[in-house]
Amino acid sequence: MAEEPKKPTILVVDDDSEIRYSLDRVLSGRGYQVAAAGSGEDGVEMVRTTSPDIVFLDIRMGGMSGIETLQHMRAINNRLPIILMTAFGTAQTAIEAMKYGAFDYIMKPFDPVRVTKLAEAALKALHDMHRAGDYEPRLRSEDWKEGIVGTSAAMQEVFKIIGQVAASDATVLVTGESGTGKELIARCIVQHSLRARGAYAAVNCAAIPENLIESELFGHEKGSFTGATAQRLGKFEQCDGGTIFLDEIGDMTLATQTKILRVLQEGEIQRVGGSEIIKVDVRVVAATNKDIEEMVRQKTFREDLYYRLNVVRVRVPPLRDRVEDVPEIVEFMLQRLEKNRKSRVRRVAPEAMAVLSQHTWPGNVRELENVIHRSAVVAQGDTILLKDFPPELRAGAEVEASVDVPTAPAEPGPQASSAPSADAPSEEPSILFDRLFACLQTSQASGVLKQIEGEMIRRALNHFSGDPGKAAEFLGLSRNVLKKRSEDLGI
């Protein structure tokens, strides 16, 4: 007889024998192999010796508490999904449970359907984590030092320019959309320059009120304006022999621009309210996310200053033009979080990474960084899964996944055959439809189905650049039906 595939095993830990019995009944009935322990201590021992796939764990037990037990179990197996159970539902216990890395949290008395759904979701998460297991780290330790990563051709160009200007004192203008890494690049330029050991200051021209920026940059004499109770040195004087980073330079007034021009041309400044002319030796690295050439055309930015700043130009490409960098940037950020002991997450599951690579990232690397930080916080185990992403990122993926992968992902073991799934459909599509239905209810839309159909056809056609063959295949329609429906819907 052929060997039966191993059934998924579930460990139930509760000091109440009735709970153990009822969970055993529900879960065995679903085709799972169930084992039980009557205390936290025994539960930990069983995790060590029998390696269950999932654990249902009571929070309040005599002896070792549920939270303590959970921590011991996770020290043995960081990926083990643990579902905490409690009869006392307070915000605090729920928060505590999730904080310590529980997979989920369920209230007694149990709804058997919810128990089964949780077990299925936990197994799926485990499965996704295992599939992601062969993700090899690619970052070398050198990449760490720079704090800046990217193997795309576009970023390699940027790195080359940084290397080229390292030994010169040339003024550098860094431009690019918000969040592309301009400040990081500016710092990198400074670190590699001859002035690396010299003073350095960053001034955000957009953040300082107009009436204070001159004093900030050039300093002031005592009594030069209300509040100037003492003499103060400005950033240019402080950075003598070093470098100044002028950030958001497109937000400077024309008056300030004139003074900056003077430093660049003559190497001299005057404090606000002072008459003394002071020589300074400062290298300037500037950055802006504005279209500076357009500003010059509009005469809101001085042309002569523009030429002075634009001696070397570093154009930082938006992230959507270098999506090949996304996996590496993600890995870098996860390593940094781990190093700072802020997370134990090591990788992103392939289907989740695919979503990251397809997103258009209007907020560029900063937006990606936020997504990774947030997802690492909610992820359990060592892998970020699709479900850990914020809903706006997930929504598109769920639609695509249900189309791209028509066959359900293979679950481990006999789950598909022995655990009937007809009445417990997988979580994602139902959430999507719940949400959609709720939206439709509140918007009181009429002709809803037509609208959805029309929208899907339009999007599919757009996505495949108007190719009706590909769009039809994507939507699971024949070309003729697609044509007919498009005509009916006036597309």
| Token pair 């947030």: residue | 374
Total Cβ atoms within 10 A of residue 334: 25
Sign of the C-alpha dihedral, residues 172, 173, 179, 183?
A: positive
With b for 16 or more beta-carbon neighbours within 10 A and e for fewer, the 19-43 pattern comes to bbebbbebbeebbbbbbbbbbbbbb
Among 72, 366, 374, 459, binds ligand ATP (CB under 6 A): 366
Which C-beta is closer to Mg ion: that of 70 or that of 292?
292
Which C-beta is closer to ligand ATP: that of 67 or that of 252?
252
Q: Minimum CB separation from ligand ATP for residue 253, in Å?
A: 19
The closest residue (CB) to ligand ATP is: 181
Which C-beta is closer to ligand ATP: that of 148 or that of 475?
148
Among 184, 199, 278, 399, binds ligand ATP (CB under 6 A): 184
How far, in Å, are 198, 319, 387, 429 from residue 145 at the CA level? Answer: 19, 22, 32, 43
Strand pairing category for 219-220 and 232-233: antiparallel
Q: Minimum CB separation from Mg ion for residue 248, in Å?
A: 7
Among 8, 38, 150, 242, binds ligand ATP (CB under 6 A): 150
Q: Can you tell me whether residue 150 is helix, strand or coil?
A: coil
Total Cβ atoms within 10 A of residue 374: 15
- Residues 480 and 488: their CA atoms lie apart, in Å, by 12
Q: Minimum CB separation from ligand ATP for residue 318, in Å?
A: 10
- Residues 361 and 333: their CA atoms lie apart, in Å, by 16
Residues ≥6 apart with Cβ < 8 Å to 126: 53, 54, 79, 81, 412
The span of 6-14, 46-54, 127-135, 148-156 binding ligand ATP (CB under 6 A) equals: 148-156
The tokens for 267 are 């190497």
Region 142-201 residues binding Mg ion, contact defined as CB under 5 A: 183
Quick check: 371 binds ligand ATP (CB under 6 A)?
A: no
Residue 116 touches which member of Mg ion, ligand ATP, none, C-beta under 5-8 Å by kind: none
Which C-beta is closer to Mg ion: that of 16 or that of 183?
183
Among 46, 189, 329, 385, binds ligand ATP (CB under 6 A): 329
Which C-beta is closer to Mg ion: that of 202 or that of 477?
202
Q: Total residues at the site for ligand ATP (CB under 6 A)?
A: 17
Which C-beta is closer to ligand ATP: that of 32 or that of 332?
332
Q: In sequence order, what E strands does 103-211 have?
A: 104-107, 172-175, 200-204
Residues that bind Mg ion (CB under 5 A): 183
Residues that bind ligand ATP (CB under 6 A): 148-150, 176, 178-184, 289, 329, 332, 365-366, 369
